[in-house]
Structure formats: C-alpha cells, structure tokens
Amino acid sequence: MFGQSGYSRAISADIGKIERRLWALERNLKRLGGSTSARAAQTADRIGDTVAAALTGMAERFRNHAGSVTDEAARFGGEASRLGNDALRRLSNEVERHPLVMLGVAVGVGMLIGLASSRR
C-alpha cells in the first residue's frame, strides 16, 4: 500500500505540473492571440488606408482626364459649329447668285435620296 500511495502522489505531482504548464501555455496563447489580433487589426487599417489612398488618386486622375476630354469635346463642337456656319453661308451665297442651278442640284439630290430609300 505504501508503494501505491507513493505512486499516486507521483502521478498527482506530475498531473499538477502538467496542469500548471497547460495554464501557462494557455496564458501565453491568449497573450499571443491578443497581440496577433491587434497586429492584424493594425495591418487591416493600414491596408484600408493604402487602398483608400490609391482609389482617391485614381479618382482624381479620372476627374482630371474627364475634364480634359470635356474641354476637347467642347473645342471640337465649337469647330464643327463654325464649319457648319461657314458651309451654310457659302450655300446661301451660291443660291443667291445662281438660284436655278442650285434648284437643279437640290432636285437631283432629292431624286437620288428617293431612289436610294425606295430600294430598301
């Protein structure tokens, strides 16, 4: 019986050591987990800030490009308007100078358009 009680005390002491080591391990894991999740949160914040900055830069470049395209479109529109006014002025001058020739040209163009549309 003495052997068994010594044996059970040794097992009990080993179990106590194992429990203490498990508790220490658990505390270390909790501490590491807390610091890891804090680092993960900081990393996520940094990534979010980086992505936001990149998207802001892209949006700014897009706005600048869109503004230049708008300016260019307005310039082309002004040029087209000027050319259209010049053509209209020339046409009206020709109609005033040669009304019968222009009437003949208009009838010929009308007939061509009529023939082209009747084939469809």
Tell me: pLDDT of 75 over 50.
Answer: yes
| Residue the block writes with tokens 């009437």 | 103
Interatomic CA distance for residues 64 and 58, integer angstroms: 10
pLDDT surpasses 60 at 1: no
Residue-wise pLDDT tens digits, 4-61: 566 566 677 778 788 888 888 888 777 776 666 667 777 777 877 787 888 888 888 7
- Region 65-78: mean pLDDT is 80
Q: Is 95 exposed, middle or buried (0-12, 13-18, 19+ CB in 10 A)?
A: middle
